[in-house]
Amino acid sequence: MNAEVSRFVDDGTQMVDFLRRYTVVCPECGGAATVVAKKDEPFILFARRRLTCSGCGLSKEWAAGCLGYPSPEQGVDWYFRLPYFFQRRCAGHQLWVANREHLNFLRGYVAAKHRNHRRDARGWSNRSFASRIPKWLAEAKNRTAILSVLDDLEKEIEKPNKRMQRTRR
């Protein structure tokens, strides 16, 4: 492992930062459906979102104004409560990623041998995604398995045919 990935510095990124555009399982056809947040909303957490599936043509909108936070073990999105499309079993848990940015963040976190948090203007905070990562993802004993599954998920994200049916492993 090179020096560039041996250290991770928590920059305060939150899970909602990965939820501007992500992929879920279409509730109609089981294919990959895309969820996109409306760009001109001032507060991204409650921004309207549109789910679209190019496989079956499904289109839905979320504009509820309130949401619940599912357990990270569930692997479902906050808005439509649908499973994330890119998921695999890993180290006895479900490993999921919302999109490529989320995958890259997890890879950097997991690959790092040293992880640091930054103090912001208001002091120490645990609102960041890194501070809320499940313990099993942070354990060194799972590093190799997690990185291998992340490599597999990355290959799936890169597939040109997004209309593929979801497969469970």
Residue 44 lies in a domain: yes
Helices assigned H by DSSP within 51-169: 100-111, 135-138, 143-158
Q: What are phi and psi of 39, to 5 degrees?
A: -75, -30
Residue 110 lies in a domain: yes
- Order the strands of the 21-25 sheet from edge to edge: 21-25, 32-37, 49-53, 59-62
Which are the contacts of 124, defined by CB distance < 8 A and separation ≥ 6? Answer: 117
Q: What is the pLDDT of residue 114?
A: 79
How far, in Å, CA of 66 to CA of 3, rounded? 42
Which are the contacts of 158, defined by CB distance < 8 A and separation ≥ 6? Answer: none
Residue 94 lies in a domain: yes
* Residue of higher predicted confidence among 147 and 131: 147
How far, in Å, CA of 16 to CA of 2, rounded? 30
DSSP state of 6: S
Q: What is the pLDDT of residue 70?
A: 79
The reply to whether the predicted model has a pTM over 0.75 is yes
Which domain range does residue 44 map to? 7-158
> In 3D, which of 95, 102, 75 has the Cα closest to residue 20?
102
How far, in Å, CA of 166 to CA of 62, rounded? 23
Q: What is the pLDDT of residues 11-69, one digit of tens each?
A: 778 778 888 899 999 999 999 999 999 887 778 888 899 999 999 999 999 987 778 77
Structure tokens at 123: 């002091």
- Among 42-56, 64-78, 140-154, the least confident range: 64-78
Domain total for the chain? 1
Q: What is the pLDDT of residue 136?
A: 92
Residue 145 lies in a domain: yes
- Rounded to 10 deg, the angle between the 100-111 and 143-158 helix axes is 160
Residue 164 lies in a domain: no
Instruction: Answer whether 126's CB lies under 8 Å from 14's CB.
Output: no
Residue 166 lies in a domain: no
Residue 163 lies in a domain: no
How far, in Å, CA of 153 to CA of 120, rounded? 33
Q: What is the pLDDT of residue 1?
A: 42
Residue 28 lies in a domain: yes
Q: Is the pLDDT of residue 150 over 70?
A: yes
